[in-house]
Structure 1
Amino acid sequence: MLARERVAVVDHAPSLSDLTPGRTGNLSVRRGERFAATPTGVPYDGFDASDVPVVDMDGDVVAGEMDPTSEVPMHTGIYRRLDAGAIVHTHSPWASTLAVLGEELPPIHYMITAVGRKVPVAGYEPYGTDDLAELVVEEMDAADSKACILANHGLVVVGEDLPTAVENTVHVEELCKVYLRARQHGEPNRLSDEQLATVEAKFESYGQSED
């Protein structure tokens, strides 16, 4: 059941080690009405594909030898209401700095368009709760963003697949670092909607041609 997705979780979980302390991060990848997710409280290199829990959209575990991440409500909430194929959640230091400030990430660099035109911040609710999931989904939907800062908590990022979600998480963390460092020297310039729209149009043809 979800064999490829479970392997993808095993392959990409170690990338969390560079983004979040200890075992505080999690990720998942979806196929249909189920998703494979990192197990809770286990080192990122401490499980194999048969251990990876598979969860349905009601939050019930339907396969796997281990219990899933405690953030299942956030994963199910996002998958039920937003267009996402994978989710990465971290307590990465620069995004978490904005989180404890209760501030969003504004458009200070064109690479923000990988996830939207800003990264909004959701109000605080305890981790692993439906209330937190609701706030996150509302903020991401309202901002049309693929990322959200969680007040006094961390960061969540979605993508069409797990490699994209991981890559976008790295982008957001780096932009949080640039933004906070720039603020030490003055007020950072922000890109306008027109400037962001130009970048979005250019990104549509970015990369290698499929011809």
Structure 2
Amino acid sequence: MLARERVAVVDHAPSLAELTPGRTGNLSVRKGDRFAATPTGVPYDGFDPADVPVVTLDGDVVAGDMKPTSEVPMHTGIYRRLDAGAIVHTHSTWATTLAVLGEELPPIHYMITAVGRRVPVADYAAYGTDELAELVVSEMADADSDACILGHHGLVVTGDDLASAVENTFVVENLCRVYLQARQHGEPDELPAEALATVEEKFQSYGQ
């Protein structure tokens, strides 16, 4: 059941070690009405595909030898209402700095278009709750963004697949760092909508 997706979770989970302290991050990848997710409270290199939980969009665990991440409500909420194929959640340092400030990431660099035109911030709610899921989904939908800063918590980023979601998490974390560092020297200018639209168009033919 979701054999490839469970392997993908194992393959990409070590990236969380570069993004979040301890065992505080999680990720998942979806296929149809189910998704494979990292298990809760386990080192990122401490599980095999057979351990990886498979969860329905209703939150029921239907396969796997370990319990899933405590953030199942957020993952199911995003998958049910947004067009996402994978999710990465971290407590990465620079995004979490904005989270404790209660601030969004504005369009100070063209690479923000990898996830949208801004990264909104959701109000705080306890982790692993339906309330948090609702706040995050609402902010992402309103901002038409593939990422959201979680107030006093961390960051969530989505993608078409797990590789793109992980890559875009690194992109957002780097932009949060650039933004906060730039503010030490002045107030960063924001790119206008027409500049962002040009980049969005160029990105459609970027790469191989």
Please give the range of the TM-score, normalised by the shorter of the 2 chains.
over 0.9
Residue of structure 1 equivalent to 2:18: 18
Instruction: Say if 2:55 is the partner of 1:47.
Output: no
Give matches, 1:57-96, under 5 Å: 57-96=57-96
| 1:76 Cα offset (Å) | 0.1
Residue of structure 2 equivalent to 1:97: 97
Residue of structure 1 equivalent to 2:4: 4
| 1:202 Cα offset (Å) | 0.6
Residue of structure 2 equivalent to 1:141: 141
Q: Can you give the 5+ residue segments of structure 1 that lack an aligned partner in the other structure?
A: none
The letter of the residue matching 2:189 is: N
Summarize deviations over 1:103-125 as a string: whole Å, max 9, x none. 00000000000000000000000
Root-mean-square deviation over aligned CA pairs: 0.3
Runs of 4+ in 1 over 2 A off after TM superposition: none
Paired residues, number: 208
Residue of structure 1 equivalent to 2:178: 178
Give matches, 1:87-166, under 5 Å: 87-166=87-166
Whole-Å Cα distance in 1 between the matches of residues 172 and 31 of structure 2?
25
Whole-Å Cα distance in 1 between the matches of residues 156 and 46 of structure 2?
23
Q: Can you give the 5+ residue segments of structure 2 that lack an aligned partner in the other structure?
A: none
The letter of the residue matching 2:197 is: A
Q: Percent identity?
A: 81
TM-score, normalised to structure 2, is 1.00
Whole-Å Cα distance in 2 between the matches of residues 67 and 53 of structure 1?
6
Residue of structure 2 equivalent to 1:202: 202
Per the alignment, in what secondary structure is the counterpart of residue 41 of structure 1?
coil
Residue of structure 1 equivalent to 2:188: 188
Per the alignment, in what secondary structure is the counterpart of residue 29 of structure 1?
strand
Whole-Å Cα distance in 2 between the matches of residues 133 and 76 of structure 1?
8
| 1:189 Cα offset (Å) | 1.1
Whole-Å Cα distance in 1 between the matches of residues 207 and 53 of structure 2?
34
Per the alignment, in what secondary structure is the counterpart of residue 75 of structure 1?
helix
Whole-Å Cα distance in 2 between the matches of residues 47 and 79 of structure 1?
24
Summarize deviations over 1:157-187 as a string: whole Å, max 9, x none. 0000000000000000000000000000000
The letter of the residue matching 1:2 is: L
Residue of structure 2 equivalent to 1:30: 30
Whole-Å Cα distance in 1 between the matches of residues 123 and 171 of structure 2?
22
Per the alignment, in what secondary structure is the counterpart of residue 50 of structure 2?
coil
